[in-house]
A = this chain, B = another copy of it.
Amino acid sequence: MFESAEIGHSIDKDSYEAAVSELRQALLDAQFELKQQARFPLLILINGIEGAGKGETVKLLNEWMDPRLIQVESFVMPTDEELARPAQWRFWRRLPPKGRTGIFFGNWYSQMLHARVDGDIKDARLDQAIDFAERLERMLCDEGALIFKFWFHLSKKQLRQRLKALEKDPQRSWQISSLDWKQSKVYDKYVRYGERVLRRTSHDYAPWYVIEGADPHYRSLSVGRIILEGLQAALKQKDAPRRTPHAAPLVASLDNRALLDSLDLGQRLEKDDYHRQIAQEQARLAQLMRDKRFRRHAVMAVFEGNDAAGKGGAIRRVTAALDPRQYHVVPIAAPTEEERAQPYLWRFWRHVPARRMLTIFDRSWYGRVLVERVEGFCSQADWLRAYSEINEFEEQLADHGIVLVKFWLSIDKQTQMQRFQEREQVAFKRYKITDEDWRNRDKWDQYVDAVGDMVDRTSTEIAPWTLVEANDKRFARVKVLRTLNDALARALDRD
């Protein structure tokens, strides 16, 4: 869920300053238009990792915009008056009215996360708090509110550096909260529960925006731009934005660095190493699937990737290890008539494996947020809601003990060209290349955005994405098998 926010986004000073002056003016304009129309309030929720620039960003927003139209609220210790009333009262009394902006620090999300990390509440209570937040936001949006939820993120390493810097600065050391962030397990828990919260409460009408917080230029500009674009879109609507989906793309990377760019596609494996390692991993897979403990489990392996990235070959290396009675390969093409008559996920539910089985999906339910999104085969509202539907689907699978592994096989544009040409020249490979492949290639950049959003929104602790560097087929195949085996071994060990 936080993958794209750990790749070291940054923006240099000159580009930043050039962009800011324009952004400020546009934000001010939008803010006054909001006041003039007075049709809906703007609510901004600030959450995330300690030291990731939450306070600084809000300070900056206040500088950029007219602070008289912004109320910054932080919900730290409740007052006597607040303690004498239901817990939600303090949020209600400080809601921004139509035409104005409220920035909520220490909101309902901070409170539930803090309590869960501290161990004051367990998962069931966390779920109830999540449920409360969902109902509240749904109601606010039904009433017209425009909501932005920001999660300021740092990788563990970035956090460590940041804490060191803060310690040395006596003026800022107060920023460290009561949670002891120096403890590595506080970070781990915060991220784990944070992921659960984000997964469940990200809706098309009030999505989470995850912002990498390490570089001040990058994070400030990102937040400013997201607010500006969303606000401008809402101001243009005739009616108040009653649960209107936010505009896509959801993660517009300002420095043009996408998650996929962070891969080192140069990784290779020599022939000898490959043969040794692949045989080893295949034997390990066969072993794991014969393990007694596997009786309580099943595996679903999802293969997505660029055209010609080598999905088929990788799948064959997995199945080569197995008894044909133990696995199914489900190739996903256009839905059948029967499938079109059912809800989108139906055609994947029907292939959910029974215990002890492994099912491989050659393309999958992610088609909705990849090809269907890029090609416009479904509406934006449809693919936007698909992220949460998919997360819920996978949660149900994981709850049942199904081990989920999801691979994106990634190659660069040049490698794809070589493979396309090769396919056209070799007789028995010619069936593999179609006009559609060439058309998809034209939409390369749109796919890069779609993959970034997909990984950010659906890579979860229970069902993480593995990005596979696939310029070298040997490297890719071994990585696939090893990842699969590791996931399976972890699941069996957890029992």
Residues of A within 8 A of B (CB): 38, 41, 81, 84-89, 92-93, 95, 97-99, 124-125, 127-128, 131, 135, 139-140, 142-143, 145, 338, 340-346, 349-350, 352-355, 382, 385, 389, 392, 396-397, 399-400, 402
Contacts and interface: CB of A to CB of B under 8 A. Distances in A.
A131 B142 contact: no
A224 B396 CA distance: 35
B85 A354 contact: yes
16 contacts: A38-B341, A84-B354, A85-B400, A86-B396, A87-B396, A88-B349, A89-B352, A93-B349, A93-B350, A95-B342, A98-B341, A99-B341, A127-B128, A127-B131, A131-B131, A142-B382
Contacts of A85: 352-355, 400
Contact of A143 (B131, B338, B344): B344
Nearest to A341: B97
Contacts of A145: 343
A128 B95 CA distance: 29
Nearest to A143: B343
A295 to B, nearest CB: 10
Contacts of A353: 85
A142 B205 CA distance: 14
A350 B135 contact: no
Contacts of A124: 124-125, 127-128
A187 to B, nearest CB: 27
A293 to B, nearest CB: 16
Contact of A84 (B140, B350, B355): B355
A92 B350 contact: yes
Contact of A354 (B81, B140, B400): B81
Contacts of A392: 135, 139
A89 B349 contact: yes
B139 A389 contact: yes
Given A89-B349, A385-B142, A338 B84 contact: no
A347 to B, nearest CB: 10
Given A84-B354, A85-B352, A400-B86, A140 B95 contact: no
A348 to B, nearest CB: 9
A130 to B, nearest CB: 9
A397 B131 contact: no
Nearest to A400: B86
A81 B355 CA distance: 9
Given A93-B349, A349-B89, A139 B341 contact: no
A95 B353 CA distance: 19
Contacts of A127: 124, 127-128, 131
Contacts of A389: 139
B86 A346 contact: no
A459 to B, nearest CB: 20
Nearest to A142: B385
Contacts of A385: 139, 142
Contacts of A402: 86
- In the A-B complex, the 4 residue pairs with the closest CB atoms: A97-B341, A84-B354, A124-B124, A86-B400
A229 to B, nearest CB: 24
B92 A346 contact: yes
A3 B345 CA distance: 39
A354 B340 CA distance: 55
Contact of A97 (B84, B143, B338, B352): B338
Contacts of A86: 352, 396-397, 399-400, 402
Contact of A139 (B84, B87, B93, B343): B343
Nearest to A124: B124
Given A131-B131, A392-B135, A343 B84 contact: no
Given A97-B338, A139-B392, 13 more contacts: A38-B341, A84-B355, A85-B352, A85-B354, A86-B396, A86-B400, A88-B396, A124-B127, A127-B128, A127-B131, A131-B131, A139-B343, A139-B389
A3 to B, nearest CB: 25
A98 B135 CA distance: 30
Contacts of A340: 98
